[in-house]
Amino acid sequence: MRFLLIDDEPCDRELISAELAQAFGAVECRHAIRPLEVEVALHDGWYDLVFLKEHLAWDIGQPMHAVLAARYPGLALILLRHAEGEGLSVTEVCSQGPAESRFAQAVAYNLRRTVARSMLVDADTKWVEEARTAEEYFLRVQAAIAQVAFCQLQPELLLPQLLATICHAQDYTFGLIYMVEEGCAAVVRASFGDEVAALQGTALPLGASDALVTQLLRVGQPSFANQQTACPLGIPALDDASMPYAVLGLPFVTRTNTVIGAMLLGNTDNPERFTERDMLQGVVLAYQMTQAIEHSMLFSQMQRLQEQHRVVTETLHDAVYMVDRAGRIVFTNPALERLTGYDRTALLGQPATMLSTGNEQHRPLPQPDHGRPAATRLPYTQGQMVRQDGQRIDVEMSTAPLVLDGQPLGSVTAVRDITQRLQLEAQLRQGQKLQALGTLVGGITHEFNNILNAILGYAEITLDDVPGESSTWENVQQIVCAAERAHTLLRGMRTFNQQTTQTHQPWLTDKTYQI
């Protein structure tokens, strides 16, 4: 069978040729577009069917199908139409004879079914392509959010950048991020768009039942609404406006099912913007943003802990250093630098034995508990530490192991310079010796004073009984003089003892109290 295809669309010609070959087996299909080509083809022989595109013209103002029907009576024509956006359709069958008409109608019917199937396939292909394009675009949005989350960990900077990334990528006209703070209010921590710029930093009570964001925070489920003109968003710039808009609400739910915030995304240019697919994609983005926010919060907490650790270690008067399992120093505080004279960079990575003389001795000093398990408390040791200049200083050390998940990581050692304390202790002991000596001297002077009083008393009585010009009186007078000199010496010793006690004992007491 012979067919003539007058069509300027190659895809349509391929479709019709394939359908004819499948229906009739061996067929001859000739193609023509311009009038001269059509006349040559019709002059060469008869065709069982002629397929003609309806919009083709023979000449200006003359449709080609009208010219062919007039010039070639009995020619079986099947008119084809290809409307924009609709694809190929079989619109009309033109034939002069009953047999030719029935045959043409049968071919046209089968061709209509083929075109319909082709249009369904094209529609499915178009839907798949649209879905694939949308998925690729959504993946790019996710990648952009991941890039922001990776590059920015400061919460005050992360939220505005995340919101701006989503709004720019999805063509949203406004957006807000609310974060729950102190368990009683939702505070705007990021805004996008002129409509909501003034809301930055404002707080909304969680008990406000007429606001969409508080409903999101209470329920923890996403929602969207289109063609809204009076939706209770808690956004005066939008609630009081007369133009409709679309809004999508997405809560931030953590792994522990705790709602820490919510995001509102809206569009005033397209009030019918949101669909179920937008909400499902939004849930994925909200989960990704929640993870980024949690990481940012952990990073902020870690920074605060590091700052607290820095302040504590730098303000300690006691030196502190950490060693790893190999015994090498991995951390020092400024007090250790002041104590040893070493720079911190010179200590890190060095063996801890470089600071020790190896003659540390156990001392049963009082041990503060600090709530640590008994197995992790080690006794204080007293020894000497070597400075950078070679000088040895007396120190007291306390070491505790560092254990993580049952695995030893090393140890931490606190070192205190006790040079001054040892000096004070020596002075205290010396003072105590002086005090004991003074007590002994006081007792001895008291006893000697009693003896001298007796000697002096009896000598004076003897002077009264002995003649004044005798040698005995002279001897007794010498005894009295010696006794008075001894008495004077004892008074001086007693006075010195009292002065020493009054002068030194309070000093010793004050220093003892300080120690």
Q: 54 or 480: which carries more pLDDT confidence?
A: 480
Judged against a pLDDT cut of 60, whether residue 514 lies above it is answered with: no
The whole-angstrom separation of Cα 45 and Cα 32 is 14
Percent over 90 (pLDDT), the chain:
7
Query: What pLDDT score was predicted for residue 31?
Result: 85
The residue ranges of DSSP E strands in 162-257, in sequence order, are 174-181, 185-192, 203-205, 223-228, 245-253
Q: Between 311 and 244, name the one with better pLDDT.
A: 311
- Output DSSP code: residue 356: B
For residue 197, what is the DSSP state? Answer: G
DSSP code of residue 371: T
Predicted TM-score (pTM) of the model is 0.51
Which pLDDT band holds residue 244 (cuts at 50, 70, 90)?
A: confident
Alpha carbon distance 503, 259 (integer Å):
72
379 phi, psi to nearest 5 deg: -70, 155
What pLDDT does residue 61 have? 65
Give the pairing of strands 185-192 and 203-205: antiparallel
Torsional sign, CA 5, 7, 10, 16: negative
DSSP 141: H
Least confidently predicted of 117-121, 378-382, 444-448: 117-121
Q: What is the pLDDT of residue 192?
A: 92
Q: Is residue 214 packed enough to be buried (19+ CB in 10 Å), middle (13-18) or exposed (0-12)?
A: buried
pLDDT of 99: 43
Q: Where is mean pLDDT largest: 220-224, 229-233, 361-365, 508-512?
A: 220-224
- Whose tokens are 């710039």? That residue is 237
In whole angstroms, give the CA distance from residue 162 to residue 148: 7
pLDDT above 50 (res 197): yes
The predicted pLDDT at position 112 comes to: 55
* pLDDT tier at 355, thresholds 50, 70, 90: confident
pLDDT at 299: 87
Q: Which long-range contacts (CB under 8 A, 24 or more apart) does 415-421 make?
A: 415/318, 415/319, 415/320, 415/321, 415/336, 415/339, 415/385, 416/318, 416/319, 417/319, 417/339, 417/393, 418/382, 418/394, 419/393, 419/394, 421/515
Q: Are 13 and 33 in contact (CB under 8 A)?
A: no
More confident residue, 84 or 490: 490
pLDDT(289) > 80: yes
Work out the pLDDT band at 426, boundaries 50, 70, 90: confident
Residue 45 confidence (pLDDT) above 50: yes
Q: How confident is the model at residue 504 (pLDDT cuts 50, 70, 90)?
A: very low
Q: Do residues 321 and 353 make contact, with C-beta atoms less than 8 angstroms apart?
A: no
Average pLDDT, the chain: 78
- Position 209 scores a pLDDT of 66
What letters, b where the CB count within 10 A reaches 16 and e where it falls short, cover 292-329?
bbeebeeeeeeeeeeeeeeeebeeeebbbbbbbeeebb
User: Is the model more confident about 227 or about 252?
Assistant: 252
Predicted pLDDT at 122: 53
Render pLDDT for 134-170 as a digit per residue (tens, 0 to 9).
778 888 888 888 888 888 888 788 999 999 999 988 8
pLDDT of residue 116: 53
Q: Return the minimum-mean-pLDDT range out of 139-143, 365-369, 379-383.
A: 365-369
Tell me, what's the pLDDT at 368? 43
The whole-number pLDDT of residue 111 equals 56
Q: Which of 133-142, 412-421, 469-478 has the largest mean confidence?
A: 412-421
- Is residue 211 pLDDT above 60, yes or no? yes
Closest CA to 79 of 64, 70, 90, 88: 90
Give me the amino acid identity at 235: I
DSSP 166: H
pLDDT digits (tens, 9 = 90+) for 65-84: 788 877 877 777 777 775 54
Q: What angle do CA 202, 207, 211 make, to 5 degrees?
A: 65
pLDDT tier for residue 365 given thresholds of 50, 70 and 90: very low
CA distance 455 to 484: 10
Q: Which residue has the higher pLDDT, 130 or 341?
A: 341
Q: Strands across the sheet with 174-181, in order?
A: 203-205, 185-192, 174-181, 259-267, 245-253, 223-228
Question: b/e string for 334-348 if b means 16 or more Cβ within 10 A?
Answer: ebbbebbebeeeebe
At residue 262, the pLDDT reads: 92
Residue among 301, 297, 331 at smallest CA distance from 314: 331
pLDDT surpassing 60 at residue 414:
yes
User: pLDDT class for 113, splitting at 50, 70, 90?
Assistant: low
| Residue bearing the bigger pLDDT, 367 or 172 | 172
Residue 96 has pLDDT above 50, yes or no: no
Q: Would you say 77 and 50 are in contact if contact means Cβ atoms under 8 Å apart?
A: yes
Q: What pLDDT does residue 515 have?
A: 31
CA of residue 273 relative to chain centroid, distance = 33
Supply the pLDDT for residue 235.
56
Question: Which of 285-289, 377-381, 485-489 is predicted least confidently?
Answer: 377-381
| Per-residue H/E/C for 282-341 | HHHHHHHHHHHHHHHHHHHHHHHHHHHHHHHHHHCCCEEEEEECCCEEEEECHHHHHHHC
Residue type, 223: S
Tokens standing for 221? Answer: 């489920």
Which one-letter DSSP state was computed for residue 195? Answer: G
- pLDDT at res. 437: 80
Ramachandran sector of residue 87 (left: φ over 0; alpha: ψ -120 to 50; beta: rest): left
Q: For residues 60 and 81, is the Cβ–Cβ distance under 8 A?
A: no
Q: What is the pLDDT of residue 127?
A: 64
pLDDT at position 445, please?
A: 79
Tokens of 63: 């449709």
Overall residue count recorded for the chain in this entry: 515
